[in-house]
Amino acid sequence: MKSDYLKAVKLGEKETKKYRNNGQFPFPSALEYILPTLSSLTKETIGIVDLPASMITGTLTTARQQDFSPSFYPLREPESEFAIKWDSLYEAQISEGIRDPIKVYEFMQKFYVIEGNKRVSVLKYLNAPSIQANVTRIIPRDLDETEQALYSQFVRFYKVCPLYEISFSRPESYTNLAETLGQTLDQKWDEEAVSNVHSAYLHFEKYFTKFNGNAPRKAVGDAFLSYIYYFSLDSLLNDNEATLDRRFKRIQSELITAQNKARITWQETVPTTEKSAGILDILSSPMQPKCPIPLNIAFIHDLNAAESGRIHSHERGRIWMEEQFGGMVKTYAYENCLENEDFDKAIDDARAKGCKMIFTTSPALLPRTLVASIQHPDIYFLNCSINLSHNAVRSYDGRMYECKYLMGALAASFAENHRIGYLAGTPVYGTIANINAFAIGASMIDPHIEIYLNWTSKKNNRWYEPLIDAGVSVLSDIDSFGSNYAIKRYGVYKYMPDGNIMQLAAPVWSWGKYYEAIVRTVLAGTYDARALSKNNMSMNYWLGMASGVIDIELSDNLPYQSKKMIEGLRRAIIEGTLEPFCAEMHSQTGIIHTADEPSLTREEILTMDWLNDNVIGEIPPVEALNESSQSMAAVTGVQKDETQQEAP
């Protein structure tokens, strides 16, 4: 079949020309060139595997490189012995199929041919999706920490689910895939499970390529994991083409946005209904609704207002916001929805009530919120969290560290023994900034002050006893309390000699104002969800003291000098002349920021994983947290750089 060989050569010549014009190497890569130390590296026999043809990218030696184009199309003359053998293999494949497996080395999930280059060439020319190969793995050495963690997780995955096609850009994604499918990376998956994953992935890859063109394998894997999270593996196996087409179109923007933090749009001032409007204009202007009235809105909580100060605060805000609109808005509250079943019931009920906007008030609810947002694109979804890149769900939170800085300064002025206790919540985005801002503010008043840290989110933790045992005289407690709390201790207070406490200050969350400002943009028609979706952008609201949605409330019993000091610092933060995270800063391990460096960026503030040098305590690992806090930390938890974690 010399005509087919000539066609294959023309394809090869065209491809090599294209590569040369683009300044790329015009032949397959050679493993012995990539790994000069190949002979000294450890090797592991994998056995006979049906390899994806697209993953065979090179040859073992440089001697065979110039026989082929990058895609293994032949380049030798039509009358050569090479061409004759190629033709014979072609005829064998057409008549009965090539039966002998090729031999390859696998290195970092790419394959290099030891024996069978011409077989690969023939099969690739015929668009064979897979090629049978006897695989030997080269165990990599001297990888950087990120590569080592990623490859170690792949090897662990392959042992239980032997599929080379699936690849991810993050080490934890292999565990996430297993958990999503009800599997683990510790026990071998049965043949049916492996077959289903394989079939679903190949189906997904076809659609992903249809909508996005050829993409790196890791990008396809990341998108596959997101898709089955939203719609399940079974949907790829059982749903018809029209349904899959519709779902892919719906999810495209979310897949692009979720993989890129640079696509976050930050709203750090009160969202306005008009470009020229200020906060007083927003709150006092007559409303000309641009949507059906009443606007039905659901608030879905992980816990309940009776037992959780956080939920109690959100509920007060919900009720206040509804009252401000005088019948233009109708709200519904759903409590104790941490479990998926309860959350889904709340979503179904909210939809039945005609809700067109849903606030979920905890990071722990974000995963199910994302699923609901993709499945119900006609509803606006917002989640109380921060620094998340999701097109279908907006995030909202406050720069509470500004208030904590003031409270730290005030607390230090009352701590005669230089010891303050600090009771923190869950180590999620923003929490560490709150602790450090408090510690820095305290040290500005008393350079010798020490902050003794404890966490309400730890399992079986005695909140107060360790702090009392440490001799603290002033305590920064929880920010708010549930309606059923018998002892309503919150904010910053001082222990008095007679056993009573003297309230000093407390942070104030004006959630009602926050919700009112966001809801008003929907009523005014300026929420602009389509523009974000069109540009694959996400929206994070992150408001500070200048917005009026957070503040500090001082006790009437404070000396006027204390009030004067805090009011001066408060005014400076609002005006932007004082920033808590600027100039020289020290962590528990050394200098973290020098005096001549610019103030910390938004990203550096939100993702802090260090504690100030005057903090006595540590950031607890996820496994040390209680169940509800683990759910929150899994989504927006502060973690050390993955490359610093021990690889499996």
Confidence at 345, pLDDT banded by 50, 70, 90: very high
The DSSP line for 65-76 is GGGB-TT--B-S
Sequence-distant (6+) residues with CB within 8 A of 65 are 27, 28, 29, 30, 59
492-495: strand order across its sheet: 550-554, 501-509, 492-495, 474-476, 419-424, 450-455, 615-616
3-class DSSP assignment, residue 290: coil
Confidence at 639, pLDDT banded by 50, 70, 90: low
Q: Would the pLDDT of 475 be above 80? A: yes
* pLDDT over 90 percentage in the chain: 63
What does the pLDDT average to over 370-382? 90
Nearest alpha carbon to residue 329 among 348, 354, 310, 362: 354
Fold of 1-142: 3.90.1530
N- to C-terminal Cα separation, the chain: 51
What does the pLDDT average to over 266-273? 77
What does the pLDDT average to over 492-509? 92
Sequence-distant (6+) residues with CB within 8 A of 347 are 300, 358, 368, 372, 376
Query: Which tokens belong to 49?
Result: 């595997």
- The pLDDT, as a whole number, for residue 263 is 62
CATH superfamily name and code, 401-510+547-643:
Response regulator (3.40.50.2300)
Q: Which amino acid is at 104?
A: V
Confidence at 648, pLDDT banded by 50, 70, 90: very low
- The pLDDT, as a whole number, for residue 105 is 96
Q: Does domain 265-398+512-546 have CATH number 2.30.180.10?
A: no
Radius of gyration, CA atoms only, the chain:
30
Query: Higher model confidence: residue 142 or residue 602?
Result: 602
Confidence at 483, pLDDT banded by 50, 70, 90: low
What does the pLDDT average to over 16-38? 92
Query: Which tokens belong to 237?
Result: 């196996």
pTM: 0.73
What does the pLDDT average to over 411-415? 97
Q: Would the pLDDT of 262 be above 60? A: no
Q: Are 564 and 553 in contact (CB under 8 A)?
A: no
* pLDDT over 70 percentage in the chain: 90
What does the pLDDT average to over 262-281? 61
Query: Which tokens belong to 288?
Result: 């000309």
Q: Do domains 265-398+512-546 and 401-510+547-643 have the same CATH topology?
A: yes
Confidence at 529, pLDDT banded by 50, 70, 90: low
Q: Give the chain's mean pLDDT.
A: 88
Q: Rounded to an integer, what distance in angstroms lies between the CA atom of residue 65 and that of residue 58?
A: 8
- The pLDDT, as a whole number, for residue 279 is 38
Spans of all domains in the chain = 1-142, 159-259, 265-398+512-546, 401-510+547-643
Q: Would the pLDDT of 14 be above 80? A: yes
Q: Half-sphere exposure of residue 306, counting CA atoms within 13 Å on the CB side?
A: 4
